[in-house]
């Protein structure tokens, strides 16, 4: 039975994107309505934020399992198998020069769904050098971009949560 390993990361990332986007949408809607505060919507948005964070944490754990450093006792065959599996499931970036990598990432179907081309460029520029430091592999940058985008969504949703909580206190 073949399990798509990309799903271990992407499936959780998609659920996180969806939950966090819904949370942000609800929080923004709550903050726009100046005349009343809908408690059920507030709690729904907070629940979606928690779900999104939970899915993000799972995606991060799976990314570390699939792309993190292997223990020293690991067989070289396993390392090759893992690399081939990640490549086959479109998790790794093939191009290495920055310009080629940029165009490859902008053409990636998964990234195009959740990030604008400007965001892809921003995250690529921010992480290109850092991804080459230590034991990190540049080919894993796509997953790093996805995880950073999710971190930014979580941060934004938490800021909106704080504003909504402050507004809720004024209505009590």
148 Cβ contact list (under 8 Å, min separation 6): 123, 126, 127
- Residues 98-126: tens digit of each pLDDT: 888 888 888 888 888 999 999 998 998 88
Q: Give the count of alpha carbons within 13 A of 99, CB side only.
A: 0
3-class state of residue 108 by DSSP = coil
Specify whether the CB–CB gap between 144 and 131 falls below 8 A.
yes
Q: Residue 50 corresponds to which tokens in the numbers above? A: 């928690």
102 Cβ contact list (under 8 Å, min separation 6): 120, 121, 124
- Residues 24-69: tens digit of each pLDDT: 999 999 888 877 778 889 999 999 999 999 999 999 998 888 888 7
pLDDT at residue 34, as a whole number: 76
Global pTM value? 0.85
143 Cβ contact list (under 8 Å, min separation 6): 9, 63, 67, 91
* Residues 139-150, mean pLDDT to the nearest whole number: 89
CA angle, 153 then 139 then 92, to 5°: 75
In the predicted structure, residue 165 carries a pLDDT above the cut 70: yes
């Amino acid at each position: 039975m073949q399990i798509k390993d990309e799903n271990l990361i992407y499936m959780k990332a998609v659920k996180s994107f969806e939950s966090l986007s819904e949370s942000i949408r609800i929080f923004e809607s709550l903050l726009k309505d100046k005349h009343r505060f809908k408690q059920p919507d507030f709690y729904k948005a907070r629940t979606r934020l928690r779900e999104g964070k939970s899915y993000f944490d799972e995606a991060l754990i799976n990314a570390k399992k699939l792309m993190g450093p292997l223990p020293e006792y690991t067989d070289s065959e396993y390392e090759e198998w893992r690399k081939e599996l990640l490549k086959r499931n479109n998790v790794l970036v093939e191009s290495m020069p920055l310009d080629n990598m940029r165009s490859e990432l902008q053409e990636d179907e998964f990234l195009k769904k959740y990030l604008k081309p400007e965001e892809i460029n921003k995250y690529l520029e921010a992480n290109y050098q850092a991804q080459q430091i230590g034991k990190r592999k540049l080919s894993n940058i796509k997953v790093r971009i996805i995880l950073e985008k999710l971190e930014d969504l979580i941060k934004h949703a938490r800021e909106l949560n704080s504003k909504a909580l402050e507004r809720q206190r004024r209505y009590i």
